[in-house]
Structure 1
Amino acid sequence: MKILIVYAYPNQTGFSAAVLNAVQENLKASHQVKLLDLYQENFDPVLVFNEQQRRRDLATEASTANYREMLEWSEQLIFIFPIWWSGMPAILKGFIDRVFAKGFAYEYKGLLPVGLLKGRQAWVITSHDTPKPYARFMQQDYGRVLKRQVLGMCGIKPVKLTEIAYLRGSSNEKREKYLRKIAKMSQAL
């Protein structure tokens, strides 16, 4: 399977980095895997619209062509990122804004969106510092937003969501248990 990992975390020694390592180390050797580390890539998340750069041209913008090619190449997407301020890191939001563009990732037929990235599936792995019950009922979680509003709209299904809650309150043993779970899920892909 062709797997594209989209990783959005700037600290190479933090827990998200450990999650990335657990995923990479436990994917089957038969998979073809590409890593898109948005921070290492120095991805520019800023949308610019002016007379030279129009929104309607995002689907063919030269500066994001290689990212669109990666998405087209993939059969399985894996997103790894922390939830900050109830949202995904700005660099990932900018990636979605600039790359998952109308005309590339989706189009409209009448009033309804039609996904153009069908035939792919995804796994979204997030972590956050909020206790799980509070996060579930009181906060908008952008792992769920990515799953439903972005990937689903673009035709990517199924999308599995793994949330690692209350990280700051977890012990080393609990974190190791999370990583073992991620490793096992990676082996099952």
Structure 2
Amino acid sequence: MSKKIFVLLGHPDKVNSSNAYFADQYEKGAREAGHEVRRTNISDLQFDPIMHDGYRKIQALEPDLVKVQEDIKWAEHIVVFYPTWWSSMPALLKGLFDRMWLPGFAYNFPKPTPEMSWVGRLQCKLTWIKRLTGRTGRIFITSDTHPLILRLMYGNTANILSKAILGFGGISPVAVLKIGPIKNLSQEKKESWGRVVYEIAKRGA
């Protein structure tokens, strides 16, 4: 069964990075298998990644951010590629989610009423509405260090995107494939990983 798949390349280098290569392989595999694909390269987007007033005052979304939201709502499966920089995603990608992963789009909190007890107010915080349910996700993460070493040193940093962001909005399950070490990766090994990504894409997974 074909799927509607949204692919987001979170590496700022859309041409020469390993992430770009793997995203190309995913897009190719998905399209050749009959899936409908929309793709966005983060470097093509025009937006301010900084929340200048935090959540106190929500900035108006730039057209490119609105388009990303529309593509996510359109999709049945959301796929994100990004490199590990200082044990996390690139700041530009994090800024993208900071800006557009908002109440009304990804989630809502029930509003407490003045007569509510502290227990009721707490329940409002713990029983949020997930607005993006019915969608699945896949994250591809590259790193210069072996993923097992990163896991032992810093824990599972993939949880930031897979659970605290995508999962918070109701996207579940979110599969994760960590590819590394990327540094000094031979062309043969790179192409081998590319075939793995390609086959995953054909399954719409």
TM range (shorter): 0.7 to 0.9
Q: Which amino acid aligns with 2:42?
A: L
The change in CA–CA distance for 1:76 and 1:55 in structure 2 (over 3 A counts) is farther
Give the match's secondary structure for 1:27: helix
Aligned residues of 1:83 and 1:141 also touching (Cα < 8 A): no
Residue 173 of structure 1 and its aligned partner are, at CA, apart by 2.4
Partner Cα distance (1:102, 1:142) in 2: 24
Give the match's secondary structure for 1:168: coil
Residue 158 of structure 1 and its aligned partner are, at CA, apart by 1.2
- Which residue of the other structure, out of 3, 9, 20, is the alignment partner of 2:23? 20
Equivalent residue, structure 2, for 1:111: 125
Partner Cα distance (1:142, 1:133) in 2: 12
Gap regions ≥5 residues in structure 1: none
Partner Cα distance (1:56, 1:120) in 2: 29
Q: Which has the larger radius of gyration?
A: 2
Give the match's secondary structure for 1:33: strand
Partner Cα distance (2:140, 2:195) in 1: 14
Partner Cα distance (1:88, 1:163) in 2: 13
- Which residue of the other structure, out of 27, 39, 46, is the alignment partner of 1:42? 46
Equivalent residue, structure 2, for 1:84: 85
Gap regions ≥5 residues in structure 2: 111-123
Give the match's secondary structure for 1:111: helix
Aligned residues of 2:151 and 2:157 also touching (Cα < 8 A): no
- C-alpha distance after superposition, 1:147-185 (max 9, x if no partner): 011111110011111110211153332222211111111
Question: 1:27-176, aligned counterparts within 5 Å?
Answer: 27-29=30-32, 30-49=34-53, 55=56, 57=58, 61-63=60-62, 64-109=65-110, 110-112=124-126, 113-176=128-191
Report the aligned-residue RMSD.
2.0
Aligned residues of 1:45 and 1:91 also touching (Cα < 8 A): yes
Partner Cα distance (2:103, 2:157) in 1: 20
Residue 101 of structure 1 and its aligned partner are, at CA, apart by 0.9
The change in CA–CA distance for 1:69 and 1:132 in structure 2 (over 3 A counts) is closer
Equivalent residues, number:
184
Partner Cα distance (1:76, 1:185) in 2: 12
Residue 3 of structure 1 and its aligned partner are, at CA, apart by 1.3
Partner Cα distance (1:42, 1:141) in 2: 31
Residue 99 of structure 1 and its aligned partner are, at CA, apart by 0.7
Aligned residues of 1:125 and 1:143 also touching (Cα < 8 A): no
Partner Cα distance (2:184, 2:153) in 1: 18
Aligned residues of 2:7 and 2:80 also touching (Cα < 8 A): yes
Residue 91 of structure 1 and its aligned partner are, at CA, apart by 1.0
Residue 71 of structure 1 and its aligned partner are, at CA, apart by 1.6
Give the match's secondary structure for 2:89: coil
Residue 80 of structure 1 and its aligned partner are, at CA, apart by 0.7
